[in-house]
């Protein structure tokens, strides 16, 4: 899906940004458009430029080059408070001396709304994040997850066209993060406003977004739907950053008029190329199948191996298998009585339907 600037609520057009005194650019020709009501995520490792993008959208930083366009108008010179944008940060930044309700109503007070409608809108925003019963409390009387809900309510109370979220779940424990992912998706649907969501957590980005931009060193490495990013990573970087996979050295060797992949001496007829030579194959943990050898011969494209270790992860087990020079990790469903044990001889074969091959 590609979105034309004209149909978008927000477009970044070839944005460059180098901070004063920095030796390399924080952003290098970054372009993307966000559709009205889209959940757009920016995913990338620390220092890849995610926060810089949000600060440029919000108007806290100016790009060296390029245009920021909102609703068809260039806003490069528009100050932050005139942009139809709100931001939610990792730390909730609530006013400690104001009640939950007054915190949420605060942006409306700044806009000069009268007390009655202010209160009604604050109540409605609190209801959206299921925090109505806490309206009279002070922030220090809330848990971290509850505070983040209040911060969300405050950010959406004036119904901005665009909500920016910078690692908003980073300070929460795993369970709360998962709950909040559902809250965010529901909230976004209900409000119909565009979310630009920054995270270094691939699970968050994949689960919630319509599209994901994967950042590397100030550039967009790939911009696509979560499924495309997951099943068709365009580079080794994306394949290693998104999901869990083995990166396995292979060789293409002649087979008839074609060249076929060989992994540790075993041919994989399903993977072919038009030229010989070395390459690397990304094999997701769930695409590695492991079966006990039990003295029987495996399929011709299976590798013999020995189980090195097993991690029990609840719904599944990650099993490391040594196959000659290779160590491969496979993910198998966890059963009450596992059938695999460390040291056991096994066959390893592969579901090659979504395998990516990378060459230099
Ligand atoms: N105010 C600043 N002055 C100089 N350099 C900066 C400034 N802010 C960020 N940088 C640099 O710009 C690059 C991108 O930073 P940015 O904060 O956008 O990364 P990020 O992807 O948000 O990282 P994280 O996941 O750690 O928050 C980094 O190399 C960082 O050191
Ligand atoms: Mg950041």
Give the domains, in start order, of the chain with CATH numbers: 5-236 (3.40.50.300), 245-358 (2.40.50.140)
Checking if the pLDDT of 289 tops 60, the result is: yes
- The answer, yes or no, to whether any atom of ligand 1 lies below 6 A from the CB of 95, is no
**Mean pLDDT within 5-19:** 90
**Mean pLDDT within 123-135:** 93
pLDDT confidence tier of residue 3, bands split at 50, 70 and 90: low
Distance 201 CA to ligand 1 centre (A): 17
Distance 40 CA to ligand 2 centre (A): 16
**Mean pLDDT within 121-140:** 94
pLDDT in the model for residue 262 = 94
Checking if the pLDDT of 279 tops 60, the result is: yes
| Nearest residue (CA) to ligand 1, atom 1 | 19
Checking if the pLDDT of 173 tops 60, the result is: yes
pLDDT in the model for residue 338 = 67
Considering the entire predicted model, what is its pTM?
A: 0.88
For residue 218 the two structure tokens come to: 């100030």
pLDDT confidence tier of residue 6, bands split at 50, 70 and 90: low
**Mean pLDDT within 195-211:** 94
Distance 90 CA to ligand 2 centre (A): 9
Distance 318 CA to ligand 2 centre (A): 31
Mean residue pLDDT across the chain: 91
- The answer, yes or no, to whether any atom of ligand 1 lies below 6 A from the CB of 25, is no
pLDDT confidence tier of residue 179, bands split at 50, 70 and 90: confident
pLDDT in the model for residue 145 = 86
pLDDT confidence tier of residue 244, bands split at 50, 70 and 90: confident
**Mean pLDDT within 202-214:** 94
Residue of 18, 25, 26, 168 to test ligand 1 pocket, by largest number of atoms within 8 Å of CB: 26
How many Cα atoms within 13 Å fall on the side-chain side of residue 21?
0
Nearest one of 171, 172, 152, 149 to 163, comparing CA atoms: 152
Which ligand 1 atom sits nearest the alpha carbon of residue 48?
21
Cβ contacts of 324 within 8 Å, gap of 6 or more: 264, 265, 303
**Mean pLDDT within 235-257:** 91
pLDDT confidence tier of residue 4, bands split at 50, 70 and 90: low
Checking if the pLDDT of 261 tops 90, the result is: yes
Checking if the pLDDT of 208 tops 60, the result is: yes
Q: Which ligand is nearest to the CA of 89?
A: 2
Q: Cα–chain-centroid distance for residue 107?
A: 29
Q: Which ligand is nearest to the CA of 19?
A: 1
Checking if the pLDDT of 285 tops 70, the result is: yes
**How does pLDDT run across 293-346, given as a tens digit for each residue?**
877 777 778 899 999 999 988 888 999 999 999 999 999 988 877 678 999 999
Task: Measure the CA angle with vertex 22, ends 16 and 23; round to 5°.
Answer: 90
Checking if the pLDDT of 125 tops 70, the result is: yes
Residue of 20, 23, 45, 51 to test ligand 1 pocket, by largest number of atoms within 8 Å of CB: 51
Distance 237 CA to ligand 1 centre (A): 20
Q: Bigger pLDDT: 93 or 41?
A: 41
pLDDT confidence tier of residue 5, bands split at 50, 70 and 90: low
Q: Bigger pLDDT: 154 or 243?
A: 154
Three-class SS of the chain: CCCCHHHCCEEEEEEEECCCCCCCCCEEEEEEEECCCCEEEEECCCCCCHHHHHHHHHCCCCCCEEEEEECCEECCCCCHHHCCEEEECCCCCCCCCCCHHHHHHHHHHHCCCCHHHHHHHHHHHHHHCCCHHHCCCCHHHCCHHHHHHHHHHHHHCCCCCEEEEECCCCCCCHHHHHHHHHHHHHHHHHHCCEEEEEECCHHHHHHHCCEEEEEECCEEEEEECHHHHHHCCCCHHHHHHCCCEEEEEEEEEEECCEEEEEECCEEEEEEEECCCEEEEEEEEHHHEEEEECCCCCCCCCCEEEEEEEEEECCCEEEEEEEECCEEEEEEEECCCCCCCCCCCEEEEEECCCCCEEECC
Please state which of the ranges 109-118, 208-217, 255-264, 286-295 shows the lowest mean pLDDT. Answer: 286-295
What percent of the chain has a predicted confidence (pLDDT) above 90?
A: 72
């Amino acid at each position: 899906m590609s979105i034309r600037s004209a149909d978008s609520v927000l477009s970044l057009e070839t944005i460059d940004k180098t901070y004063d005194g920095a030796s390399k650019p924080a952003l290098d020709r970054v372009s993307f458009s966000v559709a009205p009501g889209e959940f757009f995520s920016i995913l990338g490792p620390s220092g890849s430029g995610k926060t810089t993008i949000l600060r440029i959208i919000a108007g806290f930083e100016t790009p060296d080059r390029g245009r920021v366009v909102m609703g068809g108008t260039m806003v490069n010179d528009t100050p932050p408070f005139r942009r139809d944008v709100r931001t939610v940060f990792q730390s909730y930044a609530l006013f400690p001396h104001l009640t939950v309700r007054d915190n949420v109503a605060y942006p409306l007070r700044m806009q000069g709304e009268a007390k009655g409608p202010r209160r009604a809108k604050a109540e409605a925003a609190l209801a959206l994040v299921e925090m109505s019963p806490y309206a009279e409390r002070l922030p220090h009387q809330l848990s971290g997850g509850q505070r983040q809900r209040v911060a969300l309510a405050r950010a959406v109370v004036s119904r901005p066209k665009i909500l920016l979220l910078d690692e908003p779940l980073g300070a929460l424990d795993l369970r709360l993060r998962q709950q909040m992912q559902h809250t965010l998706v529901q909230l976004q649907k209900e409000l119909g406003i565009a979310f630009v969501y920054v995270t270094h957590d691939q699970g968050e980005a994949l689960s919630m977004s319509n599209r994901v931009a994967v950042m590397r060193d100030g550039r967009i490495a790939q911009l696509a739907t979560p499924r495309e990013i997951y099943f068709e990573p365009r580079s080794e970087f994306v394949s290693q950053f998104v999901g869990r996979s083995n990166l396995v050295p292979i060789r293409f060797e002649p087979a008839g008029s074609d060249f076929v992949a060989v992994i540790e001496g075993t041919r994989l007829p399903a993977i072919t190329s038009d030229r010989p030579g070395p390459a690397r194959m990304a094999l997701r943990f769930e695409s590695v199948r492991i079966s006990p050898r039990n003295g029987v011969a495996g399929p011709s494209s299976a590798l013999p191996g020995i189980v090195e270790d097993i991690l029990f992860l609840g719904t599944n087990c990650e099993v490391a298998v040594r196959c000659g020079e290779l160590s491969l990790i496979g993910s198998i469903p966890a059963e009450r009585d596992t059938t695999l044990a460390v040291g056991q001889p096994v066959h390893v074969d592969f579901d090659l339907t979504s395998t990516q091959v990378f060459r230099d």
